Structure 1
């Protein structure tokens, strides 16, 4: 099948951000006398949009606060952190984007993160030249695992979903991409190692290997035209 676009996830795929998210959740829960362990985050919250995580945390720990208030507190702390910092790029992220651009593929970013987070990454690491569209949780009614984020990215790229391939690291993201009708490649990410990624079409060890696989599919599609 012809592939015309590659759409990247953000957290855990292009940037190493989950450790920051965990630290903020841990700090907020410590203020309420709750020990929030890394293993709990890895097993239940890694790769999950913050809104859903707030709901899960309130329910699991029976907090005397609303999930919306917890989410607001978390976002305020994250925004304060992002004011002075940028999530570090994961290994080979820039090289992977460069390979996609050299292959003249359309490139999108589809994330369950907020626009502020995505823009900090794109602007802070000088990546604007690589992306043809950015779609965040702020652009859709239902974020991942619903398909809307990927469907909107495909629409912005003017490419049918079946001609896009998504690169992901989490079960939430894979579910979103597959529900959108896209092929999906996963990359290994240490903090998502406990997740079930079996529904993805291909599995790679790093981003450059994932892009190489995508380019192989592009070439196969060209040969079949």
Structure 2
């Protein structure tokens, strides 16, 4: 890879650009304990819930724990919990700002492809003053089929108007990796969690943090 071939980078959000998984865990965990007497550790969250949509996690709860719940109920409970929490407390992952600045200076186009909603993007990336780095945002509202379906990345590729060989995706979970790869994109995997490293063992590029990304494509 070189700057002459890579013209755009599509970033995932949660766990890739922002260190949000503990935030989500700390909001889901009390709900699971209170409503269903399910106790999970942060390691359980990373292994079983992180990187998945609400619909998939509700299905997982039904199948694994045999509880009666639905998407609407869990949506209302989790969103109420998020509203009582401070999403601006979510920190950036290491090296995010310097990587975005480096790509921008080199004329690489940058966009976001996430299963989170636009309100989350605006709140967290807005707080860190990063919104202007992104050409566009593919959020949950914009697709019918979220990750691991390829639809989010196919839409992003269409909006970029570039050949797929000129685009790379950056993801931290097998869910996102599957979405990007199924859309025909090279996907760089970036994670520090051993569970995800094992799931992403077949990735062509697997790094612990984003600092390796500019060296790879620039």
What's the TM-score, normalizing by structure 1? 0.87
Matches within 5 A, 1:61-210: 61-82=65-86, 85-190=88-193, 193=196, 195-210=198-213
CA–CA separation in structure 2 for the residues paired with 1:10 and 1:191: 19
Number of residues of Structure 1 aligned to a counterpart in Structure 2: 214
- Conservation of the 8 A alpha-carbon contact between 1:7 and 1:166: yes
- Conservation of the 8 A alpha-carbon contact between 1:10 and 1:109: yes
CA–CA separation in structure 2 for the residues paired with 1:194 and 1:44: 14
Moved more, 32-41 or 141-150: 32-41
CA separation of 1:102 and 1:204: change in aligned 2, threshold 3 A: same
Equivalent in the alignment of 2:18: 15
CA–CA separation in structure 2 for the residues paired with 1:195 and 1:53: 21
CA–CA separation in structure 1 for the residues paired with 2:60 and 2:182: 23
What's the TM-score, normalizing by structure 2? 0.90
- Conservation of the 8 A alpha-carbon contact between 1:169 and 1:192: no
- Conservation of the 8 A alpha-carbon contact between 2:170 and 2:189: yes
Equivalent in the alignment of 2:52: 48
Moved more, 50-59 or 175-184: 50-59
CA–CA separation in structure 1 for the residues paired with 2:59 and 2:74: 9
Q: Of residues 22, 28, 33 in structure 2, which corresponds to 1:30?
A: 33
CA separation of 1:78 and 1:191: change in aligned 2, threshold 3 A: farther
Deviations 1:69-103 (A, max 9, x none): 11331123224424x63421011000110111011
Unaligned 5+ runs, structure 1: 216-225
How far apart are residue 191 of structure 1 and its match? 7.5
Q: Residue 7 of structure 1: SS of its match in structure 2?
A: strand
